[in-house]
Chains A and B, each alone.
Chain A
Amino acid sequence: MTTTVVETDVDNALVADQAREIIAKVDRPDLIFRGIIRTSGIAVLTVMSLIGVFLAYRAGEALNVAGWSFLTEQAWEPDSGKFGVAAIIVGTVLIALVAIGIAVPLAIAVALYISEYAPRRLQSTFVSLVDLMAAVPSIVYGLWGLFFLQSNVTGVGRWISTYFGWIPFLSVKGADPTDPLSPSTVYTSSTFIAGIVVALMVAPIICSIMREVFSQAPSGEREGAYALGSTKWGMIRTVVLPFGKGGMIGGTMLGLGRALGETIAVYLIISPVFIIQPRILESGTSSVASLIALRYGEATNFGTSALMAAGLALFLMTLVVNFIASSVVARSRSGAESG
């Protein structure tokens, strides 16, 4: 008898060392709860994939007709079978690039100012201000661009094209810098002006991401740099900027994604043309989103399908940009902590 008891004790000890299998009994309320949240997850999944599938399905009709010329054709006349995204994609990308080119230096400066230079007491005020600016509706920026910028910035466009017109994309066709009475309308409604407006719109978004990662740079490394006799700028250059590199790239890409998809502000400013127009200071450009807003009302069934195809191209572009952004942020040192 005693031996068996000892044996079972040994057995028990062995069993206790191993991980026990835990079987949690799920009771009815929990089952219902899980069912509900799973349903909502599936519902979201369905809606979201439906958008992609539906876009692709409706776009298919137009893409079948256009074939590969959809990517190379510049005109947009779906009902005569002559349509393609070459011109509008170039326009969209150029506007977004001008916007990013202006927004990124400004966003870096504001982010550095808020996280490194601003007085402590004012820091949270500036953070709120930038976040608020990111929430200002795009139509407000569009109004400002249409009524204020359009009339005030043509001089800058004229100046740049006069002195740097030898660079191909900065030249302006039909402008005569030597003639002081030449009309300034060739400088309005340009890629450049649309780009400035979109830049102001995306700069707060880029800035708030950059500020977030800059402020996460470890104090130990900051003080280490100071202890080695670094100046403040030296510290920023060797600690803060390398630490925040992932966030800077990610934030820029995120801003690029928003800039590509912007509709109304661009629509209000540009005058649409359907040829590849690489001269950014000259009047006339186009973008995918503003094309959809411009043409959806008068489109026939096939025309809508063509617009869907353009929308799909835009969506794929922003999707790729966003995907790159999130993978860059997730892989960077600062992104690993911020999640």
Chain B
Amino acid sequence: MASVNSVESRRSTATFRLTDLYSLVGAVVAALSFSLLLFTKILPFSGSIGFVVVSYAAFIAIYSALVSLEAEGPIIRDKIATVVVHSLAFLMLLALVFVVVYTLIRGFSALSYLNFFTQDQSRTGPLDPLSSGGVLHAIVGTLEMIALALLITIPLGISCAVFLNEISGRLSRLVRTIAEAMTALPSIVAGLFIYATFILIFGLPKSGIAASLAISVMMLPIIIRASDVVLRLVPANLKEASYAMGTSQWRTVWHVTLPTARSGLTTAVILGTARGIGETSPVLLTAGFTASLNADPSRNPMISLPLAVFNFVKSPEPAMIARGFGAAALLMLLVLLLFVIARIIGGKAPGVLSTRQQKSRERQSHDDAVRMAKSSAEPTNTDTP
């Protein structure tokens, strides 16, 4: 949740002197030459990862020696902590970006074929080149499964979150506890539950509906929890103002609480969708496997993008692995799209309006003022009951 942490903003106390730069650059150069010497002439070490690690250790040692020439105690510790935090943060952000970029680059070869989006795998064998076959069946499957799951989770999740906020008592406390506990449910167990009930006990076939039920079971606690937090942030005075006008509870919820929290609720749903769309394990257990397009979620196996990736990369053939990366890149772009939409819509605190909404509110309020001024100018109007 985006939070407004404090009224006054923090001041920047960063200072940077030229000597800092000198010691940084000096330490980098010295560390690189030291480990180069170590790796090529002195020790039997090899490998690029080892080189980076040794250079980093040397860098930290040389940098602290350089800093200790002109500063003492706490300042040395401060400088070392600064470079360590910067480098670790850089390392992790780099690693994360690398994971994404690696998938996109390796997926590009499959994505550059148009048939990848328009065909399914039914006429394509493992040895066929990338110019044949595609993942249309998985795209359709993913979209249908997530649509069905949203059809279940949005009404149920949001009305349950409203219940948690509007009706207090032992029951809602119990529901909140259980819903929070269920966010710990491993996704594979959610899949196993649907597999054991829907398929083994009721004897229904593996299908898109079973998969979307498994995804719903997993998404529901996430959406309830996030919506609950957002609804709790709706200012009480807005609701009280509505009650003071004599409005009923459900009108207050419908016209005040939900519109105020709309952007936050949208974010909650979209982030839940992003989780649901990327889950492989519940779908693996419940959807079965198919290589051909099946648009009917109630019958026959269906496949989703993550499951398609999983099946592609189990094959040793390079073309299949390339298809797997293509499908993974596609899935990631889908998640990215959802995320960008969530950022544009959400990320605003309850009651904060976009500029367009702000303008329309101003216009409405102006119209009201004009109307009231008119009606007070004609005193006969106000007297009539």
A residues near B (Cβ < 8 Å) are 26-27, 29-30, 32-34, 36-38, 40-45, 47-49, 51, 54-55, 58, 105-107, 109-110, 112-114, 116-117, 120, 126, 128-133, 135-141, 143-144, 146-148, 152-153, 155-156, 159, 200, 203-204, 207, 212, 215-216, 218-219, 222-223, 226, 230-234, 236, 257, 260-264, 268, 289, 292-293, 296, 301, 304, 307-308, 311, 314-315, 318-319, 321-323, 326, 338-339
Contact B88 A106 (CB under 8 A): yes
Which residues on A sit within 8 Å (CB–CB) of B159? 36-37, 40-41
Contact B6 A156 (CB under 8 A): no
The answer to whether the Cβ of B147 comes within 8 Å of any Cβ in the partner chain is no
The distance in angstroms between the C-alpha atoms of A233 and B1, with both chains bound, is: 27
10 inter-chain pairs at a CB distance below 8 angstroms, sorted by A residue, are A109-B84, A135-B335, A136-B335, A140-B99, A222-B10, A230-B74, A257-B184, A268-B313, A293-B285, A296-B195
Given contacts A314-B186, A339-B232, contact A232 B78 (CB under 8 A): yes
Which residues on B sit within 8 Å (CB–CB) of A130? 96
Given contacts A155-B49, A311-B188, contact A139 B306 (CB under 8 A): yes
Given contacts A110-B92, A112-B89, A289-B281, contact A159 B50 (CB under 8 A): yes
Contact A54 B196 (CB under 8 A): yes
What's the least CB distance linking A179 to chain B, in Å? 14
Contact B160 A41 (CB under 8 A): yes
What's the least CB distance linking A299 to chain B, in Å? 10
The distance in angstroms between the C-alpha atoms of A226 and B163, with both chains bound, is: 46
Which residues on A sit within 8 Å (CB–CB) of B279? 137-138
Q: Which residue on chain A has the smallest CB distance to residue B228?
A: A339
Which residue in B50, B167, B277, B325 is a CB contact (below 8 Å) of A38? B167
What's the least CB distance linking B266 to chain A, in Å? 15
* Most chain B CB neighbours (cut-off 10 Å) among A112, A133, A143, A233: A143
What's the least CB distance linking A111 to chain B, in Å? 8
Contact B189 A200 (CB under 8 A): no
The distance in angstroms between the C-alpha atoms of A282 and B159, with both chains bound, is: 50
Given contacts A135-B339, A268-B313, contact A323 B99 (CB under 8 A): no
Which residues of B (1-34) have their CB < 8 Å from a CB of A? 1, 3, 5-6, 8, 10-14
The distance in angstroms between the C-alpha atoms of A114 and B86, with both chains bound, is: 10
Contact B321 A147 (CB under 8 A): yes
Contact B271 A293 (CB under 8 A): no
What's the least CB distance linking B140 to chain A, in Å? 18
Q: Which residue on chain B has the smallest CB distance to residue A155?
A: B47
Contact A152 B306 (CB under 8 A): no
Q: Which residue on chain A has the smallest CB distance to residue B9?
A: A219
* Most chain A CB neighbours (cut-off 10 Å) among B13, B163, B197, B324: B163
Which residues on A sit within 8 Å (CB–CB) of B306? 137, 139, 264
Which residues on B sit within 8 Å (CB–CB) of A322? 180-181, 183-184
The distance in angstroms between the C-alpha atoms of A48 and B225, with both chains bound, is: 14
Q: Which of B109-117, B124-132, B171-179 contacts A (4 or more CB under 8 A)?
A: B171-179
Contact B49 A135 (CB under 8 A): no
What's the least CB distance linking A177 to chain B, in Å? 11
Contact A261 B284 (CB under 8 A): no
The distance in angstroms between the C-alpha atoms of A234 and B73, with both chains bound, is: 11
Which residues on B sit within 8 Å (CB–CB) of A55? 189, 192-193
Contact B280 A139 (CB under 8 A): yes
**Given A234-B74, A296-B195, 19 more pairs with CB closer than 8 A:** A29-B248, A41-B160, A44-B175, A44-B179, A47-B220, A48-B181, A54-B197, A143-B325, A147-B106, A212-B3, A216-B5, A231-B77, A232-B14, A232-B82, A261-B189, A264-B310, A292-B189, A304-B196, A314-B186
Given contacts A33-B253, A38-B167, A204-B96, contact A292 B88 (CB under 8 A): no
What's the least CB distance linking A129 to chain B, in Å? 7
The answer to whether the Cβ of B100 comes within 8 Å of any Cβ in the partner chain is yes
Which residues on A sit within 8 Å (CB–CB) of B3? 212, 215-216, 338
What's the least CB distance linking B111 to chain A, in Å? 14
Contact A326 B180 (CB under 8 A): yes
The answer to whether the Cβ of B269 comes within 8 Å of any Cβ in the partner chain is no
B residues near A (Cβ < 8 Å) are 1, 3, 5-6, 8, 10-14, 47, 49-50, 74-75, 77-78, 81-82, 84-86, 88-89, 91-93, 95-97, 99-100, 102-103, 106, 155-157, 159-160, 162-164, 166-167, 171-172, 174-175, 178-190, 192-193, 195-197, 200, 217, 220-221, 224, 229, 232, 248-251, 253, 271, 274-275, 277-281, 284-285, 306, 309-310, 313, 321, 324-325, 328, 331-332, 335-336, 338-339, 343
Contact B184 A135 (CB under 8 A): no
Contact A219 B10 (CB under 8 A): yes
Main secondary structure of the interface of B (DSSP, over half): helix
The distance in angstroms between the C-alpha atoms of A286 and B59, with both chains bound, is: 38
Contact B220 A44 (CB under 8 A): yes
Which residues on B sit within 8 Å (CB–CB) of A311? 186, 188-189, 192
Contact B74 A45 (CB under 8 A): no
Which residues on B sit within 8 Å (CB–CB) of A126? 93
Contact A263 B188 (CB under 8 A): yes
Which residues on B sit within 8 Å (CB–CB) of A212? 1, 3
Which residues on B sit within 8 Å (CB–CB) of A226? 13
Contact A140 B185 (CB under 8 A): no
Contact A138 B280 (CB under 8 A): yes
What's the least CB distance linking B350 to chain A, in Å? 13
Which residues on B sit within 8 Å (CB–CB) of A133? 96, 100
Contact B249 A289 (CB under 8 A): no
Contact B10 A41 (CB under 8 A): no
Contact B328 A139 (CB under 8 A): yes
Which residues on A sit within 8 Å (CB–CB) of B271? 135
Given contacts A117-B82, A135-B339, A260-B186, contact A141 B12 (CB under 8 A): no
Given contacts A109-B92, A156-B49, A293-B281, contact A261 B229 (CB under 8 A): no
Contact B85 A113 (CB under 8 A): yes
Given contacts A37-B162, A292-B192, A304-B196, contact A339 B10 (CB under 8 A): no
Contact A37 B163 (CB under 8 A): yes
Contact B186 A289 (CB under 8 A): yes
Contact A54 B13 (CB under 8 A): no
Which residues on B sit within 8 Å (CB–CB) of A263? 186-188, 280-281
What's the least CB distance linking A155 to chain B, in Å? 5
Given contacts A43-B156, A311-B188, A311-B192, contact A236 B224 (CB under 8 A): no
Which residue in A223, A234, A319 is a CB contact (below 8 Å) of B184? A319
Which residue in B8, B250, B328 is a CB contact (below 8 Å) of A33? B250
Contact B189 A132 (CB under 8 A): no
The distance in angstroms between the C-alpha atoms of A146 and B324, with both chains bound, is: 12
Q: Which residue on chain A has the smallest CB distance to residue B162?
A: A37
